[in-house]
Amino acid sequence: MAPAQNNFGGDPVVDASTSRWPPSRMEHAVFLLLGVSVGLGVAVASKQAVVWSAAALACLAFLFLCIRSFSSWVYACLTASLVVPPLYPSVLGGDVPVYVPNLLFVVGALTMLFRHEEYGASSSRTIQASLFFVMAVLVSLPFAFWISGPAEGLQSLLRFVLILQPFLVYAWIRGFPCFRTSAHVRTFVKFLLWAGAASALYGIVDFYEPIPIPHPFADQYIYLDFRHIRRAQGVFYEASSFGNMCAFFLCLALCLLFSGRKGLSLTDRVLLCLGTGIFTSALFLSYSRGSWLAVMVAVPTFLVLQQQLRPRVLIALSVVVGGFVLLVYQFSPDVVANFFNWRLGTLADLWDDPNSATSGRWENWATLLRFFADRPWLLLFGIGYKTIPHTGLFGQAVVADNGYMSLLFETGILGLTAFLWLSAAILNALQKCRKTPVQVCQLYGAFLLAFWYGELAQMLTGDIFTYWRNLSVFFALIAAVDSLADRNGSEAV
């Protein structure tokens, strides 16, 4: 019997039932349902019940990890990152977030320690660059204590622990046998799309009917004539991070729809169209211009890589995305009109009033540049990771809102150089994936390559490389595709 054709990549479907590594559909449902249940529990249960629910999720993930496979930890970790909001237990004062993925991070780190003999990742440029970047950020931490004081130094240390999680996810997938075939990677992508859709729907519902969860959130509003509305923030409680997540999944759905590859079933096309609608609506309601910039860079870049940048495709793309924006307009005409008139309209005044056009970024950038121009020695190792918004060093509240400036001023020339090396290593690895004979690697290698260019563009507008929950998803898919390409390359040799 001829092998069935795939629906998300181009290679013949490999029967995954012969392998014990990918979680079954039942496990997928368990992860998603449990994640959503914990999220709902935050809304309706007591704080103690929420903490116990989070502990139950961690224990379940550990159980699957020990009994089932290495990949179960990845699914549990990403489910928690995408659909479970942070907890604010009263024992910590009610204003200190506790993230369920952090509990799984501890489980994963301990598992890697105790099962290190099974770890099989070979040294690569991406792994080397990742270690260099982590060390560069680590070097900046003592300066946070020295310059900004013990309290800010401790916060810098805690934020450093958060940014370690995406790198652990990457190292885990590269070193343990999580996604060994094209079928495993396709299953993983489908799972991510479903989890991303659940997260985006949460943000949309929360925008129109705020979910009654007591928590602090970023003061990000849509200012209309006589009222202000909190921008869509989802389970991230921050609009830019939520928008960045939606941008990733919108790009993924659009790239799958317009990749030019045959084999997508009618059901898959319908589901991808519905997903495009969900992600477009959620991204629009986040009011994140930088996330739209990432989409506008990533999707055309992908079409160029796939040789699909044609007028017919561009028209179809515009119709699909524009149609869903029009649908949002039917529900919230004032919100949509305000986005085009205010969020985009102010860009027309970039030359006359750059500070207003950039939402205050221009003055913040000028303040930072003047400060460090007078103290260039601080540029060697920086003033401490993630301390700019919190330190009293500048005599006023300053937010860099530029990933490159943040890295330069907080982690120094060493940190910025390490990040550029890491980005170059990721782009080089994804370019190699595009050249493998495995069609799944070609497709997702091209998508991830294009999206990383979009990320680099969005970093001009925000410190998005610190969105550790989003990065965990990005790095997981990069590692899955990269490891599959390496495995097929070694087998070919």
The whole-angstrom separation of Cα 138 and Cα 131 is 10
- Residues of the chain above pLDDT 70, percent: 84
Backbone angles phi, psi at 181, to 5 degrees: -135, 170
Q: Which residues of 2-16 are buried (b: 16+ CB within 10 A; e: fewer)?
A: eeeebbbbbbebbeb
Q: Are 489 and 463 in contact (CB under 8 A)?
A: no
pLDDT digits (tens, 9 = 90+) for 153-171: 999 999 999 999 999 999 9
- Burial class of residue 93 (count of CB atoms within 10 Å of its CB; 0-12, 13-18, 19+): exposed
The whole-angstrom separation of Cα 135 and Cα 89 is 32
pLDDT digits (tens, 9 = 90+) for 67-81: 457 888 899 899 999
The whole-angstrom separation of Cα 254 and Cα 326 is 18
Three-state DSSP state, 221: strand
* Cα angle for residues 48, 54, 58 (degrees, 5° grid): 145
| Domain ranges within the chain, ordered by starting residue | 127-164+383-493
What pLDDT is attached to residue 51?
55
Question: Whole-model pTM?
Answer: 0.88
The whole-angstrom separation of Cα 477 and Cα 492 is 23
Q: Give residues with Cβ within 8 angstroms of 88, minimum separation 6.
A: 47, 94, 95, 96, 97, 98, 214, 215, 216
Q: What average pLDDT does the segment 224-239 reach?
A: 88
Residue 36 pLDDT grade (very low, low, confident, very high; cuts 50, 70, 90) = low
pLDDT digits (tens, 9 = 90+) for 402-442: 999 999 999 999 999 999 999 999 999 999 999 999 999 99
Q: Are 105 and 164 in contact (CB under 8 A)?
A: yes
Q: Comparing 6-20, 205-219, 456-470, which segment has the lowest mean pLDDT? A: 6-20
What pLDDT is attached to residue 355?
82
The whole-angstrom separation of Cα 457 and Cα 482 is 23
